[in-house]
Structure formats: C-alpha cells, structure tokens
Structure 1
C-alpha cells in the first residue's frame, strides 16, 4: 500500500481496475493535485476504505464499489459517473464479437439502454446486481442462453472470465474523472472550513461557564458542553444522540421545538441549585431544525454581580438612594416621583431644577437606581466646587505630561469612569463657555478626548444635570449656550421648595429624629406633635439641607441637656441661628480625636453661616475668607 504524498487534502481513489488508476494519476499530475490510489472492488474496497478513512478527506470510486465504500465509512465518497456513452462504446466493441450481449449495472438500469439496442442493432440482456452473489447467479443464466459476452464493471468482467465467458470492461472517460476530482476537492475544502469552524465552536463551548444543549429537528441531543455535564451531572456519552425529553430533567425543549416560541430567563431547580434557563428555536429558511438551550447557575450570576458592585463601591461611584427614600405626602412631589421613574427608563438627558437644598442629587441617584444602568457607576460632580481650569481635566482626564504636575501615566476622567453608568453634573450653570462647548460634543458624539491627547475614546453614559439658577436668563445674558441647554433639558424635573410642601415636614422630622437620637428612650410621635407647629411656621430658605441641620442640632442639644421641653429647645436652636453674629459656641464630640472634632466644628460654622445668609454661598465664602474649593470640601 503506497504512502500518502502529502498535500493540503488527502484524496484517495479506490478503483476496480488499474487502467483507471493510471488515468487518474495522469489527471492529478496535470492539475497539480497529489492523490493516493488503491485497486480493489466491492467488499475488498470497503475494507480498505474503512482502514484509511482517518487519513482521508474524500474517497473517489465508481459504480457498486462506490456504494460499498459509502456504507463502510463516515466521510464523503464521490462516485465517478458511468455515462450511457461509456456503455455505448463498450457494447459497440462487444458487437464485433457477437450480436447478443449481457450488460451488468449496479443498483439501477442505465437510462437509454433500449435506444442503444436500436442504434447498434444488437440484442441486450440487462442484469442489475447489488452484490457479488447476484453476479454469480446471473452467469449461469447467461451461459444457458448461449450468450458469450458480458459488458460491465471489473467485478462482472472477472466473474465472467471464471465462467469461461468473454468480458468487456466499461471504462470511465477522462472528462468524468476530471469532474469528479473537482467535486472531491470542493468537498474537501468545505470540510476543512467546517472543521475549523467546529473546532472554534468547541473551544468556545468548552470554555464558557454556561451549560449549552442543542437538539435537532427530532429532539435528539447533538451538542452538549462540559458546563452542562456539571450542571446535570450527566456525561456526554449518556446523552448525545438521545431524546432530550427522556434524558434531561425538567426539559421543555420539545415544547419549544413544537411551538417555535422562545422561553427566556426561566428559573428551575436542578440538582439542588437554581438555574436560569433560556430555550430558543433554531430556524433555517423558515424551517424549525432544532432548539438551543443555555443554563446558568444563579449563584454564579449573583457572585459576579457582587464582584462588580464591590469594584464600583471601592471607587465610591455608587448611588445610595432610591425613590422609596424620598418621603412625601405632597401630591405634586408624588407626581414628580412617578414622572422621574418614567424618565429613568430612558437614556435621555435630564435636567433637575430647584432651590439649593431641595434634594436634586437624591432624585439623580434614584433615577440612576431605577434605570437599566443601575449596575453601572454613578459619578457625581459638583461643577461649582472645582475651579474651571481643573474641572476640564477632572471630567475628560489627561494624558501623561499634558501639563505641569500631571501624572506620568495620565489619568482617567470622570466621563470615562462613568462608562455604562450615569454622571450627575450638579451646579451645571457654573461651567465656563469653553467647557460648555466640549460638554455639548460629548452629548452629541458620545465620545471624549483627554486633555493633551489625540485619541477619541467612545463612552456610553447618561447625563443628569442640576442647577439652582435660571438657565434661561443665563442664555439671554450669553452666559449659557442655548444648544447645550436644549440637549441637557430633554426631560425636565422642577423640585418644589420645602415651604411649598409643609405636609412633608412632620414625616421628614420623624425620620431625622429617629436617625439622630435612635439610642435614646424618646417618644418620637409626642415630640413631633410638640414641635411641628414651629417647624411649619418657618419658611426654610435652605430647604431640606437646612431642615436636616436644625433637626440634628435639636436632637444633639435636647439629648445632651436632657430637655423635656422640645419646643422650647427648638426655639432656642432656631433663635441662635437667626441671632448669630460673630460668635459661635458649640459642643463637639472629642471621642474620635481632634481631627474629627475640628471637621465637625468647621462644618457647623459653615452651615450656620448658610442659615444666616439664606444659603447665599458667595456671601458665606466672603465672610469666612475662604476659597470656593475649600468651602465645598469643608461642607
């Protein structure tokens, strides 16, 4: 047996006669194709093919031998056709010997055999055989009829010679061999491409954590990956080729195959675990040919989600508040919460307007947590707290060496850090016209370029902005770009001041008192009834922020002095704020050390000054003789 000559494909011809092999060799050499040749027929050919199939891409043969090989191997077999013209030539040659000939064909009659009989004026006896025994039986009949010539393939010719008859071989033409070789090469190329695709698919399926099962149109399992083995505790040997309904617990793949309707996110219990299952029908040209099912352990999904959340929490980019945290009995606020929840379901920009301290960031965080981006980062930026020359590099980031003092490796900006999440731009009316132009481009193009960089970075963010200023007036004065305003103000939320929702005062006061004095034996309902008239009477220019400060101070003073008259204590606290001039006296907690005590004292001073000047930050900054950045850092 010859060794393979090495080519990109292994094409093997198994021929019943040597001359065909020589012709095939001549054709392959002309075509620059290297091939392997074996001489054998029927059963012998099938045995040889079975041994060679692991080394061969495509077999070529002819007639009955080709059929025998097909039954013995799992790889493609190209049958070289025997044409009516090939038979005609052989019968014409046989006529020179005798006027009566027998013609042996494998499996089926030769189309046009009767026409050949008329054309050549010869009597033809056609014998159709399926195996060597059929040929033997026919020979006895031929001899009894006195027919002396047998026309057919090599098995028939060799058997005829054993019976003392003359055999005429039907040979394949060069053109038929050439066409069959091209077909074999095409099949080999397709198989190579398919093998590469299957190998890639196998690597993917073997490496993913999801279990995958694929069935065919008969609901038989044709693909079953290692992850599925672990989930179902069933080896692939036990399930491949089996009916999914009889093999896989709780399966509904047969239902999906029948209905054609996908089932997504179905939870089921498998071997003590909760598994999320998707079942999707496979359709080709409108015909349903199977179903693919994926299976994922809910525990793994939860663990992955936890890791993502932990990473986001470490960076501090987390929204802590939800719409449920916004306490209100006010009808307009209830309606605003509903509207904001609807807005949250979109990806459009939102502008939140309201006086200082009305809870704009509380709404922004709630919108983020109610959106499809809730698992992504929430990045809050106070545009007024950062000097304009630094705000640009904070938002957009910078490349290494972009400016003096820049990190060598550069730095990600807040827009990049907010990718797949929400960025909240508070005090949006404070940014410069130059920065407004860059922000407009971010909204339009969904991409940024770092300071000092030359590469465009695509980002996927949702922008929620807020202001306590009248942006329309700023547009009139030329301080704010009109086009940016319309981009930011796709959806608008205007928060009412606390003085317009006084029915909420007792609700919020109750919650804050419980927070600040939770460890003390206090009848909170009684206290609220006592102090509520005073709280309602005041207009709260600082809104929720001022309210929070007053209640915190009230709780601290009342608890420390063990006061039983909460209303009187509240009057003193509020009077101290209103009457405050240049001197401030406050008790601070020294248990956590001097540093924390100083921070607490500084914050107290700033909040007190804000109350004094009706939340006018500029007046407070001027009075305290501190910078704007210091003001925001201390508060």
Structure 2
C-alpha cells in the first residue's frame, strides 16, 4: 500500500490540483475529497488511513482543528499574485483580489513595482464570500482573482475569474505533500514492524528514558509486573521494585548490565542496555527473562545435544605419553580447567584440539 495524500478542496482548486497530479509521477496516491459549500468541515471515517492532508485558506485551518495528522496549507506567494494580475488585467484594468483573512502582506510588498492598482477584499467566513463577489459585480467590476471557491462563485455570476495560485506553486506543494507522506508512511511501517516484534516476543521488553520513566512495555512485561500496560506506561520502573534493585543501573554506562531481581515471588534476570548520545544516557532498554524459563530451556538444549551425541566424551586419564612436553601440556591444561577464564587452543588440523577441549571441559 502506497502513502496517501488527501486533497480537500472545491471547484477550480480541485481541478487544477488533480491536473498537476496527473502530470507528476509521484510515489503516493492522491485522493480528492471535495467539500460542500458550507462552513462545516467534516472528515469522513474513510479518511482515517490518510497520511497527509493538503488544502488552503479557511478549509486548511478548519481541518487542522479536526485531525492530529499533518495538514499542509497552500499559501499564496508574491509570484502567484504577479502571474494572476498579468492575466486578469486583460479583462479589467482594476481586477478584484479576494484573499482569506486580510492577508495583504504579499500584495502590498509588490504594489510599488507594478502599474496595476487592484481592488483588494477579504473574507473570514465562507458565507460572506458570495456576497463580496456580488458587491463587486454591482460596482461594475468584471474580473475576480481568488481561491478555487471564489473562482467558482465568480463563474456562477458571470464574471471572469483568475485562479490565484500558479501551476509552479501547486506543483511545489504537491511535491512537499508527497515527500512528507512517504516519510510518515515509512516511519509508521517501521514502527508497526518493531511493535510486532516487541509485542510477540516471549521475553519482557521495557523502554524508559534516562530517569526510568516507562514509554514502552510489552504484554510479557505487563504480566511480570502484574500491572495493566496503560498504567505501566508513564510510571517509573524503579518504583515497581520493593528493594530498589534497579537504582544503580541508571548511573552505570556499561554496554550491558545484568541484574537478578525478585518480582512477585519469582526470580528474573534484567538485562539493561544503556542508549547513549554524546556519552550521555538518554534511554534504557530492558530485556526481562524468567530464571526458571532460562534453566528449563538450557536443560532442553543439553538433553537434545546429548541425544544427538554432542557431548564431551574425552578425559585426561585417557592420555598416555612419556613425552616431557606433552606431560607439561597436560599439567597446564588440568590447571587452567579449574579457572573461569576463556581458553583458546591453537594447533594444526588433526592434532587433537577438540579432544583436549573436551578433556578440559570434563575436568572443570
């Protein structure tokens, strides 16, 4: 499924945008949602899977109040006004520019460099827009510059109309909407994949900030804490332990810290992985494992290996040699077999490294 951009508009705006969409090869699906000519903006449930909304003026403002998803508002540029004026003066030497919410800043900026002196007007509510157009028609004006809705109403009343947004601006905003939708879509896809891994893992997983406040807690961890997930998120992981076993973890900056802790009468191994930025702790990732479960899995693996013959069968007493060097090697091997250190055995192929390793293991 591709990312989705929803265009919420009406009249000429819809037509111009969809014409540009057809010309541009963008990696998203654009859907057009034409709004009724009233002030109430209603987002249908069918739009829940939209990644980004694209609109302008009053409608963009209304949509922002009704959704938590990104809303890109198409804004008029000075270039747009210049292009629109150059077209409109062919029909009326004093065209009327109708702008939403008295935003004349861009028009005023270019007044000194153009010979045209347009009439400016504005609206704050959609119900007033048609009245404004009729007012200027009665005054003898022939050309209206404005939004898609303004152009549609001007056409309805027999006036020449010029859409205020240039094709270049529309294309720029379509590209911005596409890029944002792709970014959001990919992040949500990754989030869902990570959530699936976390939620279906057979071990507890908890994610906290640098102070221990929990932001992620999977179902296994909820069961371990015996607290509903909604109550766990936002609480501090340290407070969930009676004996403050985790207090010192947030002061240690090792790559991984393992702590044995008791919760509700059961033993668990907490593996804490600090996440650092510029050597400063920013988050902590916890993996929680039931000690009994670990031991059970370990026994199961050992039994399987034994059944398949993967056991250490050789012992030191099976060696016989009068060679002083070999006898010295055996004495050293017996000595180090009693330590907890890792042992590396070097030797040519076929010299008995595996036999010696099994003997050390059985003597440990």
Q: What's the counterpart of residue 104 of structure 1? A: 100
Where 1:172 maps in the other structure, the secondary structure is: coil
Length-normalised TM-score, structure 2: 0.66
Q: What's the counterpart of residue 109 of structure 2? A: 115
Preserved CA contact (<8 Å) 2:271 2:287: yes
Query: 2:322 aligned with 1:354, yes or no?
Result: no
Output the CA distance in 2 between the equivalents of 1:204 and 1:176: 42
1:22/1:113 CA distance change after superposition, 3 Å: closer
Q: What's the counterpart of residue 39 of structure 1? A: 34
Output the CA distance in 2 between the equivalents of 1:254 and 1:152: 64
Point out the structure with the larger helix share.
1
List aligned pairs for 1:456-467, cutoff 5 A.
Answer: none
Q: What's the counterpart of residue 257 of structure 2? A: 264
Q: Which has the higher contact order (CA 8 A, sep 6+)?
A: 2
Output the CA distance in 1 between the equivalents of 2:214 and 2:93: 60
Output the CA distance in 2 between the equivalents of 1:352 and 1:110: 97
Larger gyration radius, structure 1 or structure 2: 1
Where 2:349 maps in the other structure, the secondary structure is: helix
Structure 1 residue 228, shift from structure 2 partner: 1.0
Q: Deviations over 1:109-167 (max 9, x none)?
A: 5654432222336487686x8x639979xx8xx99xx9x99965467789999xx9x99
Structure 1 residue 290, shift from structure 2 partner: 3.3
Output the CA distance in 2 between the equivalents of 1:28 and 1:101: 26
Q: Deviations over 1:441-463 (max 9, x none)?
A: x98xxxxxxxxxxxxxxxxx796
Preserved CA contact (<8 Å) 2:260 2:267: yes
Segments of structure 1 that go 5 or more residues without pairing to the other structure are: 1-6, 322-350, 374-420, 426-435, 444-460, 467-635
Segments of structure 2 that go 5 or more residues without pairing to the other structure are: 317-323, 360-364
Structure 1 residue 273, shift from structure 2 partner: 1.8
List aligned pairs for 1:353-502, cutoff 5 A.
Answer: 353-354=326-327, 360=330, 364=333, 367-368=336-337, 370-371=339-340, 438-439=349-350
Preserved CA contact (<8 Å) 1:43 1:68: no
Q: Deviations over 1:33-62 (max 9, x none)?
A: 6632122289967522x5233343333222
Preserved CA contact (<8 Å) 2:13 2:148: no
Aligned-pair Cα RMSD in Å: 5.1
Preserved CA contact (<8 Å) 2:204 2:289: yes
1:438/1:102 CA distance change after superposition, 3 Å: closer
Structure 1 residue 63, shift from structure 2 partner: 3.4
Q: What's the counterpart of residue 200 of structure 1? A: 193
Where 1:370 maps in the other structure, the secondary structure is: coil
List aligned pairs for 1:553-632, cutoff 5 A.
Answer: none
1:360/1:176 CA distance change after superposition, 3 Å: same
Query: 2:169 aligned with 1:176, yes or no?
Result: yes
Structure 1 residue 77, shift from structure 2 partner: 3.4
Structure 1 residue 185, shift from structure 2 partner: 3.1
Preserved CA contact (<8 Å) 1:239 1:247: no
Q: What's the counterpart of residue 24 of structure 1? A: 17
List aligned pairs for 1:209-358, cutoff 5 A.
Answer: 209-215=202-208, 221-240=214-233, 242-244=234-236, 248-249=240-241, 261=253, 264-283=257-276, 289-311=282-304, 315=309, 316-317=311-312, 353-354=326-327
Preserved CA contact (<8 Å) 1:212 1:295: yes
Preserved CA contact (<8 Å) 1:264 1:278: yes
Structure 1 residue 190, shift from structure 2 partner: 3.2
Q: Deviations over 1:225-269 (max 9, x none)?
A: 1211211122323334x2436985568999877x68357112322
1:167/1:39 CA distance change after superposition, 3 Å: farther
Preserved CA contact (<8 Å) 1:245 1:254: no
Query: 2:183 aligned with 1:190, yes or no?
Result: yes
Preserved CA contact (<8 Å) 1:11 1:36: yes
Preserved CA contact (<8 Å) 1:245 1:252: no
1:103/1:287 CA distance change after superposition, 3 Å: farther
Output the CA distance in 1 between the equivalents of 2:100 and 2:266: 66
Output the CA distance in 2 between the equivalents of 1:254 and 1:74: 37
Length-normalised TM-score, structure 1: 0.41
Output the CA distance in 1 between the equivalents of 2:107 and 2:297: 73
1:99/1:45 CA distance change after superposition, 3 Å: closer
Output the CA distance in 1 between the equivalents of 2:237 and 2:175: 43
Q: What's the counterpart of residue 416 of structure 1? A: none
Which residue of 79, 84, 98 maps to 2:78?
A: 84
Which deviates more from structure 2 when the two are superposed, residues 180-189 or residues 266-275?
A: 180-189
1:352/1:209 CA distance change after superposition, 3 Å: farther
Where 2:285 maps in the other structure, the secondary structure is: strand
